[in-house]
Structure 1
Amino acid sequence: MKQVVQNYKSGELAVLDVPVPGCKPGGVLVRTAYSLISTGTELMKVSEAGMSMLGKARSRPDQVAKVMQSVATNGMPATYRKVMGKLDSYTPLGYSLCGVVEQVGAGIDEVKAGDLVACAGNEHALHAELNWVPKNLFAPVPDGLAPRHAAFGTVGSIAMQGVRRGEPQLGDVALVIGLGLIGQLVAQLLTASGVRVVGVDPDPVRCGLAERLGAAACGDPASAAVETTVAELTDGHGVDQVYLAAGGTGNQPVELAARLCRDRGRVVDIGKCRLDLPWNAYYEKELDVRFSRSYGPGRYDPEYELQGRDYPIGYVRWTERRNLACFLDLMARGRVDVEPLVSHIADFDDAVETYRSLKDGDLKAVAVLFRYPEPAQEKQKKGEAAPPAVAVPAVKRRGGQVRTPSGAARSPVRLAFVGAGNYATSMLLPHLAQREGVELSTVVTTTALSAANAKRKFGFTGATTDLDAVLGDTSVDAVFVVTRHSSHAELTKRALRAGKAVFVEKPLALSEDELAGVLDTVEESGNDRLQVGFNRRFAPMLGEARKRFGARTGPASLRYLVNAGRLRHGSWYLQQGTEGSRFAGEGGHFIDTAGWLLQADPVSVYAVATAGNEDLQVVLRYPDGSTATISYVTTGPAGFPKETLDLVADGRALRLDDFVRASVFADGGAGRKRWVSSRLPKARDKGQEAELAAFVRAVRSGGPMPVPLESLVATTTATLAVRASLVGGAPVTLTAAR
């Protein structure tokens, strides 16, 4: 299928061929009929992409601060790779469309294939021929409403949420500053609510349009006529609400709002407007400044938007989806008229030229729609271009002892990736893309554009959303599972059953049942070609330090401080109901490192936590009496190193300082350091490259996996036992836990 994309680094716009998104449970697959260009938000993104790197930095100081923090934590090379990877990627455009339901996912019963729906979301209602849209981001289109009008649903919801934040009442007078697309819709909604509207915009055409659609009067912000009109309509008191729907970098909108608003009136910011509030003016009138957050309650809440959990209507009357349905109803009943706002309808194939015309000012428009080809034509086109179906071959299963198979060396080793998120594209694929004897075969993602980006950047032969086709491809030697934690165990089982070697990022499993299911699959299939992404044991600096430390004769004491830091609001790591706790997802790294240094698997786990389980102390005991204490903290300062480790035994000590420096101390005449690594101030090699090299060698040769399966199971079991210890308040014996 085709999708409109932009490269934020170069500013390039393109209509790209990308895989068709899969129809996941909890949503519908929608074939787009019309999608609406947001002439404000989208053109701002297009303009930013065309700036120099310095210009981009000046326009997004918040992102610059994040980059500087990442440099302090992860080093310059890793940060540079991550930032350049994000910048030099295709990003989607669009967030408001109307289309026909093509396929219905499990759990959806309110619509069926063939129904017309309006869709919302800058990740789900894109300028693309097909989109997967979750339950709470689509609404059925009422009978009689034209699809091109229904495509306004999301933008209309933004305007509606802004009006709701203003709390207008019958007989009020409101001022709308900025009569672009959002401002025009705000003016119509206010008029439909019995509010008299005064509009402000420097464009006389837009002012005339708003007046034809119901505004009492409109004019240039510099004109005295606007102030005169407001005084006449309000008996000199000023308007009850001001709605800021203007953009730009000037401060005139908020200054005009203060002048024309009544005492204790409300000022609602809907767009991205500069808000350098003149303190005296706002203080003297005690103005109530409010923000309107996008489409309404539910926005940016992953449980609402992605998992389909609605808010009870008795507590939250108007949500994203209810706003969307309400706006569609108003259009269907003729209370809001969007047809006069349509300045231009372009064929979807002409999308790039349309954006350029808008950006250059050749196309003056309030609203622009993309019109997509008829479904029948697209189905025929899709049928002609679709590759032949590949059946998943039957996998021979056997019981008994599992043995590591060996076979003839194979080169190049053909790898498939399931998932292409930040970690895969910044920490794994850069090492594999240039490795001799490796061929990146296919990348599989649930969103079409991420697969297309990975294919372009790393040279995959193919990109798809069809996992079955990849698992059925007998030429694929190994599958990398780099998806969200909740899917790791199931995807690992499927790949093992298909006879593939599997590299799965930590964690291997989120529960004892998931781990048991993986082990059952290993036994049934006879395939134990499994590696978990515990990369720190492969870090060159740590390996050299262990070698310098030497063999132990007595028990050891190990302390591992992990300054994990706080997560950003909205991070999927916080979705503990589905993705497990942070420690369940990340703690295996540190337990594996401790076991590798001590050359043993733990036999018991005891964990205690601060209130809210934010900071953990995990004590591991080993067969020879050694102990390891892992302090996993989220409340530490951002500038403090993330990982520091000390190992003490037999009169010797090993210290690791955040993979920047390592040292070994030993008893001697003066008690001096015996060895200190060279300092690496600009890089932290945590072992990913060496880990991947070892995995590829094992796959090519048919030899043993880099880490024994028994060790992977022991680490996973210990990680899961942390939760059991927290719940029970006592140590957990791992033999019993298994």
Structure 2
Amino acid sequence: MQQLTQKLGSGDMVIQEVPYPQLGKGMVIVKNHYSIISAGTEGSTVQAARKSLIGKAKERPQQVKQVFDTLKKQGPIQTYRAVMKKLDAYSPLGYSCAGEIIEVGEGVTEFEVGDKVACAGAGYANHAEIVSVPINLCVKLDSNANLKDAAYNTLGAISMQGVRQADLRLGESCVVIGLGLLGQLAALILKASGVTVIGVDVSESAVNQALENKVVDLGLTRDTAGIEEQILNATNGIGADAVIIAAATSSLDPINFAGAITRKKGKVVVLGAVPTGFDRDPFWYRKELELKMACSYGPGRYDLNYEEKGIDYPVAYVRWTEKRNMEAFQSLISTNRIDIGYLTTHEFDFDNAKQAFDLVVEKTEPFTGIALKYDIAKTPSKDAIVTSDAQALGKINISFIGAGSYAQGNLLPNIPEHADISRVGVLTNTGTTSKRVAEKFKFQFCTSEEAEVLNDKTNTVFIATRHDSHGPYVLKALQANKHVFVEKPLCLLEDELEQIIEAKQASNKSVMIGFNRRFSPLTQKLKKVLGNNPMTMIYRVNAGAIPKDNWIQDMEIGGGRIHGEVCHFIDYLTYINGSLPIKVSATAIPDANQLNDTINVLLQFENGSSGVIAYYSNGSKSLTKEYIEVFSAGFSAVIDDFKVLKLYGKGKPNKTKLINQNKGQKEMVEAFVNGLLKDGEAPISFNEVVAVTKTCFSIIESIKRGGEQIDI
């Protein structure tokens, strides 16, 4: 399958062969007929990618700050890997397309194979021959629909949401500032609603295009003499009932101009990308104007439950969701209440997509809408894509399922180079990631088919996907007789844990979990000097807040922060004291969202040791994240953020300080692989993996019971 991609670092744009997209639950696979280039959003992305590193830095000061923060905390190696991962990645382009459904996923009932559809969403409705789209970002079309027009789906929904935010009535007036694609679409929708439309743009050709196609009742260039008076006259001396700003600029002129031409108590809707630091006087304050933002396609946007899980909002309470906005836009097209055919000023075959973007960036001739047309006669292939010469299989033959930021920064670079280790296949949710990872880390192929990475070529599987898929993938890998390395957590459901235990016993293969902190050099030094006496331990974590709408906080997908991160610290205390946890009690401070991410956990262990995990999301970012204290038989130790170790016994304290933080990721991967090479055993016992996982379930139960002690 071919897809248009660009590297952020070099700006190189190429159509390349990538794996066929995965068909997830609640999703459909669509063969594209057309996709639309957004000159504003995509044009700025492409322009930024083609700039120098200094130019990129100037455009993204917040990301530059993040780089320096990472450098300060994690050192140059991890920072370099994080930056290069971003710069070298194949970034997909496109977010608005139309085509025909060729596959439907589990739980999909409203679509069938053969349906014509329009799709939306960055990362979904890409410029690619085949796309995989969630059902709430996809709308069904008439069988005779014009798919070129329908491909404006996303842009139409964005404009529709801007019009809805203006909340205008029949006979009222609206000024649209900016007559690019979004502005023209908004004007068309307004006209179809019986609203008087006045269009303003800095470009005379854009104004003329709107006038020639009867999109506006009055069209004016921004520098027209007496423009405010003309708008006042056109609105019978009232001023505009609403202004929709569909421009993209860093200038304050659009927001201040909107204040001047809007009637008293009117509305100004920001649809484009403009600053909102308007002058308070004389207009905004005295007119008591209302400033409203139009959030992309409408209600549901950026909501994981709506977009990824397909959970709709009840129509009685949310009349116009992003999907219903798309449907309304498509209805306007199919009933000929708006004619958008004139917007497509250029059409390119998909093979010539690079030339289309050159036109967008270089502006060698006037354009409005640019459509990419696909060869629908081609038969899509699900075959794996070869990315390096076939290697002779060794004793350890590794494939990856999932290869996001963490895997690329901490797992893949640390796989030892060894004659007995071969790198086989890579499977991820997106074909672009699979392809880039397979090429960069010299795997033989990339694929979207599970069977390809679970076949006889592979005997060791690394799993680094979202948390909800860990359990199912571990189970499949064990059933396929593979050694398993899985990023934490092992699983999210207790019945999954029982199935994994049974599968492990049946396969007798190793199961390793990504508990890296026990492998840190400072931890290893501490472990060597600790005796076998019972000990008391404190692990304080200044975790920081994560928004409730982040996937990690979703109990179905991420499992929450107890499964997602607290498991690390349970394992650490288990390792330090050398015995399994047997009892736990936990309390959480009340929070409105019931996230249970500021908690105190008290653990008791088989050998009489006890430990406290103080996991807090409500602290200051300026405090180091992790702080550990251990006490035993007159001996004490402190580890501060895996940079400093202090040992206290008789005499002067012994201090070890690292140049950079080291949480043991490299040592963990090497220990796992070397263990398999040596005797087929993982460096963390399966009993410990199971005990830590059960403890997470028990912590959640204890919190529900108000801190009651639970036997593990």
**Global fold match (TM > 0.5):** yes
Alignment-derived partner of residue 520 in structure 1: 502
Deviation at 1:141, TM superposition (A): 1.0
Deviation at 1:251, TM superposition (A): 2.2
Alignment-derived partner of residue 564 in structure 2: 585
Match of 2:463 among 458, 461, 481: 481
Change (3 A) 1:696 1:363: farther
Deviation at 1:236, TM superposition (A): 2.6
Equivalent position SS for 1:241: strand
Match of 2:531 among 548, 551, 573: 551
Cα separation, 2, equivalents of 1:420 and 1:691: 17
Change (3 A) 1:249 1:436: farther
Deviation at 1:118, TM superposition (A): 0.3
Number of aligned pairs?
701
Equivalent position SS for 2:126: coil
The answer on 1:456 being equivalent to 2:439 is yes
Equivalent position SS for 1:655: strand
Report the RMSD for the aligned CA atoms in angstroms: 1.9
Alignment of 1:519-538 (within 5 A): 519-523=501-505, 525-538=506-519
Cα separation, 1, equivalents of 2:544 and 2:170: 50
Deviation at 1:733, TM superposition (A): 4.7
CA contact under 8 A between 2:25 and 2:105: conserved in structure 1?
yes
The aligned amino acid for 1:726 is: I
Cα separation, 2, equivalents of 1:733 and 1:521: 27
Equivalent position SS for 1:722: helix
Aligned residues with identical type, % of pairs: 35
1:34-78 CA deviation, whole Å, 9 max, x = no partner?
A: 000011110011111122223222222333343344445444432
Alignment-derived partner of residue 259 in structure 1: 260
Alignment-derived partner of residue 589 in structure 2: 610
Equivalent position SS for 2:315: coil
The aligned amino acid for 2:398 is: L
Alignment-derived partner of residue 428 in structure 1: 411
Change (3 A) 1:166 1:434: farther
Cα separation, 2, equivalents of 1:75 and 1:276: 38
Match of 2:656 among 656, 677, 686: 677
Equivalent position SS for 2:556: helix
The aligned amino acid for 1:590 is: F
Change (3 A) 1:595 1:410: farther
Equivalent position SS for 2:439: helix
CA contact under 8 A between 1:433 and 1:440: conserved in structure 2?
no
Alignment-derived partner of residue 404 in structure 1: none
Deviation at 1:450, TM superposition (A): 1.6
Deviation at 1:730, TM superposition (A): 4.8
Match of 2:705 among 717, 728, 735: 728
1:147-204 CA deviation, whole Å, 9 max, x = no partner?
A: 1011011110000000000111111121111110000011111111111111111222
Change (3 A) 1:92 1:530: same
Deviation at 1:435, TM superposition (A): 6.1
Cα separation, 2, equivalents of 1:574 and 1:531: 24
The answer on 1:627 being equivalent to 2:610 is yes
CA contact under 8 A between 1:28 and 1:133: conserved in structure 2?
yes
Alignment-derived partner of residue 92 in structure 1: 92
Cα separation, 2, equivalents of 1:48 and 1:479: 37
Cα separation, 2, equivalents of 1:66 and 1:597: 33
Alignment-derived partner of residue 395 in structure 1: none
1:583-628 CA deviation, whole Å, 9 max, x = no partner?
A: 1121221111111110111111111111132311111112232110
Alignment-derived partner of residue 53 in structure 2: 53
What TM-score, normalized to structure 1? 0.92
Cα separation, 2, equivalents of 1:417 and 1:651: 46
CA contact under 8 A between 1:200 and 1:226: conserved in structure 2?
no
The aligned amino acid for 2:485 is: F
Alignment-derived partner of residue 393 in structure 1: none
Alignment-derived partner of residue 338 in structure 1: 340
Deviation at 1:315, TM superposition (A): 0.6
Cα separation, 2, equivalents of 1:230 and 1:731: 70
Equivalent position SS for 1:24: coil
Alignment-derived partner of residue 389 in structure 2: none
Deviation at 1:437, TM superposition (A): 4.7
Match of 1:694 among 654, 657, 671: 671
Cα separation, 2, equivalents of 1:517 and 1:386: 30
Match of 1:323 among 322, 325, 328: 325
CA contact under 8 A between 1:604 and 1:731: conserved in structure 2?
no
CA contact under 8 A between 1:451 and 1:464: conserved in structure 2?
yes
Equivalent position SS for 2:190: helix
Deviation at 1:250, TM superposition (A): 2.1
What TM-score, normalized to structure 2? 0.95
Deviation at 1:456, TM superposition (A): 2.7
Cα separation, 2, equivalents of 1:645 and 1:188: 63
Change (3 A) 1:435 1:38: farther
Cα separation, 2, equivalents of 1:11 and 1:457: 18
CA contact under 8 A between 1:531 and 1:707: conserved in structure 2?
yes
Alignment-derived partner of residue 220 in structure 1: 221
Cα separation, 1, equivalents of 2:80 and 2:200: 45
CA contact under 8 A between 1:72 and 1:639: conserved in structure 2?
no
The answer on 1:294 being equivalent to 2:288 is no
Cα separation, 1, equivalents of 2:413 and 2:419: 13
1:453-478 CA deviation, whole Å, 9 max, x = no partner?
A: 21232222111110112112x12120
CA contact under 8 A between 1:69 and 1:639: conserved in structure 2?
no
Cα separation, 2, equivalents of 1:490 and 1:461: 25
Equivalent position SS for 1:240: strand
Deviation at 1:434, TM superposition (A): 5.4
Moved more, 457-466 or 52-61: 52-61
Cα separation, 1, equivalents of 2:518 and 2:419: 23
Gaps of at least 5 residues in structure 2 are 387-391
Moved more, 683-692 or 448-457: 448-457
Cα separation, 2, equivalents of 1:120 and 1:567: 27
The aligned amino acid for 2:222 is: P
